[in-house]
Amino acid sequence: MTDTIFGKITRGEIPTEFLYEDEHCVVIRDINPQAPTHVLIIPRKPIPMLVEANSEDQALLGHLLLVAGKVAEQLGVGDAFRLVINNGAGGGQTVFHLHLHILAGREMAEGALAAGLH
């Protein structure tokens, strides 16, 4: 499986501040924030993209959502944030190691296609 920058970050090979970490995932600030609060929830398991997850990953995927809610609350944006997963180059994915974006702190346009990521 191809390694990515997120593999190196989750393994601690590139010094990066973890806003949260546990045995399954880490949370870091996005290097190129698209909103005042923009963090990434990255599983330690290097699943390249969401469609490559399988039934074995069900608990992990649920865990990532729970962590998203918890971290959003810790960051003070628990009542107003957007959660984004880009899947595939056509979906705007640039790092092929599954991750969730939490975006908050700016007006979020309404509508499914208004995420404003990339």
The first and second tokens of residue 4, run together, are: 């990515």
Tokens 């069900």 belong to 58
Q: If binding is defined by CB under 6 A, does position 30 make contact with ligand 5GP?
A: yes
Q: If binding is defined by CB under 6 A, does position 28 make contact with ligand 5GP?
A: yes
Q: If binding is defined by CB under 6 A, does position 94 make contact with ligand 5GP?
A: yes
Gap between the Cα atoms of 99 and 86, Å rounded: 8
Q: How many residues bind ligand 5GP (CB under 6 A)?
A: 13
Identified binder of ligand 5GP from the candidate list 5, 50, 61, 115, rule CB under 6 A: 5
Q: Given the complex with ligand 5GP, which of 33 and 76 has the nearer CB atom?
A: 33
Identified binder of ligand 5GP from the candidate list 19, 50, 60, 95, rule CB under 6 A: 95
Identified binder of ligand 5GP from the candidate list 68, 72, 86, 98, rule CB under 6 A: 86
Gap between the Cα atoms of 6 and 42, Å rounded: 7
Reported for 83-89, long-range contacts at CB under 8 A and 24+ positions apart, including other chains, are: 84/115, 84/117, 85/50, 86/117, 86/118, 87/49, 87/50, 87/51, 88/49, 88/51
Gap between the Cα atoms of 98 and 41, Å rounded: 9
Q: If binding is defined by CB under 6 A, does position 17 make contact with ligand 5GP?
A: no
Binding residues for ligand 5GP (CB under 6 A): 5, 28-32, 40, 86, 92-95, 118
